[in-house]
Amino acid sequence: MRKPHLIALTFPVLLGSCNLEPKLEGVNSPVPENYPGNSGGSVSADIAWNKFISDPRLKRLVKMAIDNNRDLRVAALNVEATRAQYGITRSALFPTVNVGAGGSRSRQPGALGTGTAIESRAYEVSVGVTSYELDIFGRVRSQSNAALQEYFASDAARVGVQISLVAEVANAYFNQRAAIEQINLAQQTLDAVSETYDLTQKRFDAGDVSELDLRSVDIQVQTAKAQLAAYRQRVSETNNALAVLIGAPVPSSLPEGRSLEGALVAEVRAGVSSDLLRRRPDILEAEHQLKGANANIGAARAAFFPRITLTGSAGTASRSLGDLFQSGSSAWAFSPQVSVPIFDGGLNKANLDLAQVRKQIEIASYEKTIQTAFREVADGLAARTGLAGQIEAYQSLVAAQQKRFELADARYRQGVDSYFEVLTAQQDLFESRQALIQLRLARAVNSIGLYKALGGGW
């Protein structure tokens, strides 16, 4: 048989190959189209993180984190690893072709045979195909498709790590800004009560106030000092957290940061829930894992059918090296093999059942991921509305408490009221200003959390 005849025989078989993967029906989104209390419109999560973040100091920190963070580096390497694994799996779709050359020389002494020593030589050069499986029923292609979906899923996971990293850096930075504002508040309070203490000490020495008033002011001074030390510690801790996230010490040459009262990030608009399906990396990751599980069903189904493997070679052989490429020295070999499953103790059936169950698991996981994403966005929108109302109310409260303190302090200095009125007004003012800082911190954290929940930060 001539080699062209072999190709002619196998070509129709290749054309007749099929795919046993089941059709993947669309999974209905188990959430409403619109978020409660959301006006819709364009989605701010389409904006890249460097445009969404307006604080120049935070921008620099996030850029350093993306360049240096070890978790993000590991995620990127995992993508490279799955891409290499896909290449390994896909290579089975193509035959392995080897070029080989060899020679042998032997001598048999005459004492073992005819009495005359016999020398023999042989040389050959060949091109061979080693154990190439004809993928008639799509087993190898299904495995390759599953590996490809795993690669896509790993890349979506990498994007998810980057979005989480942006949010973590932003949250650490917001906490640091809040601690700095708390330091300023504590320092202002310490300065005010220290001045009051000096005045009270003079009045006590003159016999105008009791020692109780003097000790009450002293308690305020010591309390302010303790709070100041605690907030300075918190700034150091957030600085250490930022150093871990950005993968390097926090530079001293960073731009000046903005206060929590200023615009640290852009306004967040949510759009509609269907936007999550094409944007959130965890949903995309779950979708690719579902497609991979569906492809594995095709591979499991193909295991019930025969497997045809081809092994062959063609080349030239001769007894002498000079005649190796002469006419009449051609040589070839062709060894097709067919493997038909007859009895396997239920292995193939169990593998198919397992693949089908895993697909159902991935469907449930996909739906759960969508539901979780919807809830995170809905909670973020609800919190944003509530925080806006609280901040507005506390701004008015701080203004009222400031006026009350000024009146109480003036009456005390004039000797009209006791220091108890000043002490109460001072504490209430301090607590309301502290609460306002915490609310502004919560608003900033909510904005970056909502941006993350919408799948922004690519």
How much of the chain, in percent, has pLDDT values that exceed 90?
43
- Please give the mean pLDDT across all residues of the chain: 85
Q: Which residue has the higher pLDDT, 431 or 7?
A: 431
Instruction: Give the contacts of 213 (CB within 8 A, at least 6 positions apart).
Output: 200, 204, 418, 419
**Which band of pLDDT confidence, cut at 50, 70 and 90, is reported for residue 10?**
very low
Q: What are φ and ψ of residue 6, in 5° steps?
A: -65, -45
Residues 264-279, mean pLDDT to the nearest whole number: 80
Helix 70-90 crosses helix 56-68 at what angle (to 10 degrees)? 40
Residue 110 belongs to a domain: no
Residue 14 belongs to a domain: no
Q: What are φ and ψ of residue 120, in 5° steps?
A: -135, 150
The CATH number assigned to the domain holding 56 equals 1.20.1600.10
Residue type for position 23: K
pTM (2 d.p.): 0.81
For residue 250, what pLDDT is reported?
A: 93
Residues 333-350, mean pLDDT to the nearest whole number: 88
Q: Which of 79-83, 123-127, 137-141, 339-343 has the lowest mean pLDDT?
A: 123-127
Q: Which residue has the higher pLDDT, 252 or 456?
A: 252
Is 83 buried (19+), middle (13-18) or exposed (0-12) by CB count in 10 A? middle
Largest CA distance in the chain: 139
E-state strands within 262-324:
307-318
For residue 457, what pLDDT is reported?
A: 64
Residue 441 belongs to a domain: yes
For residue 134, what pLDDT is reported?
A: 84
**Which band of pLDDT confidence, cut at 50, 70 and 90, is reported for residue 2?**
very low
Question: What tokens appear for 210 in the block?
Answer: 């009791």
How crowded is the C-beta side of 413, counted as CA atoms within 13 Å? Answer: 11
Is 265 buried (19+), middle (13-18) or exposed (0-12) by CB count in 10 A? buried
Residue 9 belongs to a domain: no
Residue 199 belongs to a domain: yes
Give tens-digit pLDDT for 316-329: 877 777 667 777 77
Q: Which residue has the higher pLDDT, 120 or 91?
A: 91
Residue 42 belongs to a domain: yes
Q: What is the rounded CA–CA span in Å between residue 45 and residue 456?
A: 4
Residue 237 belongs to a domain: yes
Residue 111 belongs to a domain: no
Domain boundaries, position 91: 19-95+136-304+349-453
Q: What is the rounded CA–CA span in Å between residue 359 and residue 363?
A: 6
Count structural domains, the chain.
1
